[in-house]
């Protein structure tokens, strides 16, 4: 079966042998678009920064061998764009770090704009989200690129860098790609589960989650021998493992699909409830301390005047926020009762 909604391939090309073997196996499982990193934007210097132009020579050879294969590479500068054109690469993507920089995006947009029409006729351009969760920066990159002369433009969602401690490498804040998808429904939204996950064991669950949000196109890192890869060792799948996951995903229950708005509202509610419950617990802790203080200083625990003043103040704040006085009174009487029980 040909998998037209999947792009797969190594994070970076390393040796010709690895690249050819990876592509051969991916071809056999039905992949027809191969991703290959040629220049790698590394966070710190002195790491593997990509194989460079020789990788494009290998791709040229692969394109002669498999004439129905398309290749996708990351470009970040006009020089890289020109080389990609020279070697007839089909799909370019703009990486997360590049999308973060409006100058870099504008430079690329002008370079593409200035290409002869014939050179960009059948090309596709995919824009990864920026490193930080800023939907405007992501949309801004699209707005800068949309008139560059390449008609097929799409997005790639790869999650966001975060300081929170989470199990993934990048935080998937689904409402951001969903908002962009709702605003530009004609553009394809790919999900890159590999860079969200950071570990191959989470790739499948992220794909399932993406599908719940109506995202059905994926760009996935795959390497014939991930342990020997020169970048992103942990998150690359062998083509065989990728095939297993794709089969699983195919039979995945899709009844929740395209309810992305509802899912996002529910996620928001879950987050808010979580905040409320944590604040309530915090409030009770403070209340216990007050109880102790009152006991030590022989102060009456229940103070009707204080309660009256508190509820009146909250009612007037609530009014400004469109919360009815009855609602405020009911909730805070409950909270107050629990506080008194705690103080006792």
Cβ proximity to ligand PEP: between 235 and 287 the closer is 235
User: Of these, 96, 125, 220, 224, which contacts ligand PEP (CB under 6 A)?
Assistant: 96
Do 342 and 284 form a contact (C-beta atoms < 8 A)? yes
Is residue 123 part of the contact set for ligand PEP (CB under 6 A)?
no
11 binds ligand PEP (CB under 6 A): yes
3-state secondary structure 135-146: HHHHHHHHHHHC
Which range of residues in 76-84, 103-111, 226-234, 332-340 is near Mn ion by CB under 5 A? 226-234
| Residue 260 interacting partner from Mn ion, ligand PEP, none (CB closer than 5 to 8 Å by kind) | none
Binding mask 124-163 for ligand PEP (x = CB under 6 A): ----x-----------------------------x-----
What is the Cα 223 distance to its own chain's centre? 21
User: CA-CA distance, 40 to 190, in Å (whole number)?
Assistant: 20
Using a 10 angstrom Cβ sphere, with 0-12 exposed, 13-18 middle and 19 or more buried, the burial of residue 296 is exposed
Q: What is the DSSP letter of 222?
A: B
The residue number whose beta carbon is nearest to ligand PEP equals: 95
Check binding of 260 to Mn ion (CB under 5 A).
no
Rg (CA), the chain: 27
Taking the C-alpha atoms of residue 337 and residue 333, their distance in angstroms, rounded to an integer, is 6
Which of Mn ion, ligand PEP, none is residue 128 near (CB under 5 to 8 Å by kind)? ligand PEP
* Min CB(128)–ligand PEP separation in Å: 5
User: x-or-dash pattern for ligand PEP, window 192-221, by CB under 6 A?
Assistant: ---x--------------------------
- How far apart CA 180 and CA 135 sit, in angstroms, is 8
Residue 14 CA to chain centroid, in angstroms? Answer: 26
Q: Which stretch binds ligand PEP (CB under 6 A): 89-97, 111-119, 179-187, 283-291?
A: 89-97
Inter-residue contact 77 to 32 (CB < 8 Å): no
Q: Which of 3, 6, 7, 11 binds Mn ion (CB under 5 A)?
A: 11
Could you count the other beta carbons within 10 Å of the beta carbon of residue 340?
15
- The answer to the question of residue 232 lying near Mn ion (CB under 5 A) is yes
Q: Is residue 37 near ligand PEP by the rule CB under 6 A?
A: yes
In terms of Cα–Cα distance, which of 153, 87, 99 is closest to 126? Answer: 153
* Rounded least distance, CB 159 to ligand PEP, Å: 8
Q: How far is the CB of 196 from Mn ion (least distance, A)?
A: 11
The backbone torsions φ and ψ at residue 112, rounded to the nearest 5 degrees and listed phi first, read -70, -40
* Rounded-to-integer distance, Cα 20 and Cα 286, Å: 64
Distance CA 262, CA 129 (A): 23
The span of 78-86, 90-98, 257-265, 267-275 binding ligand PEP (CB under 6 A) equals 90-98
- Name the residue among 175, 110, 185 with its Cα closest to residue 155: 185
The item of ligand PEP, Mn ion, none sharing an interface with residue 158, based on CB under 5 to 8 Å by kind, is: ligand PEP
Binding region for ligand PEP (CB under 6 A): 11, 37, 41, 74, 95-97, 128, 158, 195
Binding region for Mn ion (CB under 5 A): 11, 232
């Amino acid at each position: 079966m040909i998998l037209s909604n999947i792009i797969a391939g190594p994070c970076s090309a390393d040796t010709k042998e690895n690249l050819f073997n990876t592509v051969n196996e991916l071809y056999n499982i039905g992949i027809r678009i191969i991703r290959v990193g040629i220049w790698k934007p590394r966070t710190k210097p002195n790491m593997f920064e990509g194989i460079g132009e020789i990788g494009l020579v290998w791709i040229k050879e692969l394109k002669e061998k498999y004439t129905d294969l398309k290749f996708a590479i990351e470009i970040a500068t006009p020089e890289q764009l020109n080389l990609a054109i020279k070697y007839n690469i089909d799909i370019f993507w703009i990486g997360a770090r590049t999308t973060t920089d409006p100058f870099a995006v504008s430079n690329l947009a002008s370079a593409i704009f200035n290409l002869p029409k014939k050179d960009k006729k059948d090309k596709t351009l995919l824009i990864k989200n920026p490193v930080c969760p800023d939907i405007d920066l992501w949309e801004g990159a699209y707005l800068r690129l949309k008139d560059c002369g390449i008609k097929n433009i799409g997005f790639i969602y790869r999650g966001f860098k975060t300081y929170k401690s989470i199990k993934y490498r990048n935080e998937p804040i689904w409402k951001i790609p969903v908002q962009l998808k709702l605003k530009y429904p004609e553009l394809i939204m790919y999900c890159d589960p590999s860079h969200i996950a950071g570990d191959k064991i989470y790739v499948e669950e992220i794909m399932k989650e993406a599908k719940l949000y109506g995202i059905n196109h994926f760009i996935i890192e795959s390497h014939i021998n991930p342990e020997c890869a020169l970048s992103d060792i942990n998150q690359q799948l062998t083509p065989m493992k990728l095939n297993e996951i794709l089969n699983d995903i195919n039979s995945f229950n899709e009844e929740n699909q395209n309810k992305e708005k509802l899912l996002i509202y529910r996620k928001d509610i879950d987050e808010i409830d979580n905040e409320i419950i944590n604040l309530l617990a915090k409030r009770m802790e403070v209340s216990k301390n007050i109880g102790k203080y009152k006991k030590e200083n022989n102060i009456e625990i229940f103070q009707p005047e204080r309660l009256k003043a508190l509820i009146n103040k909250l009612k007037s704040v609530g009014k400004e926020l469109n919360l009815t006085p009855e609602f405020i009174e009911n909730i805070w009487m409950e909270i107050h009762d629990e506080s008194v029980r705690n103080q006792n």
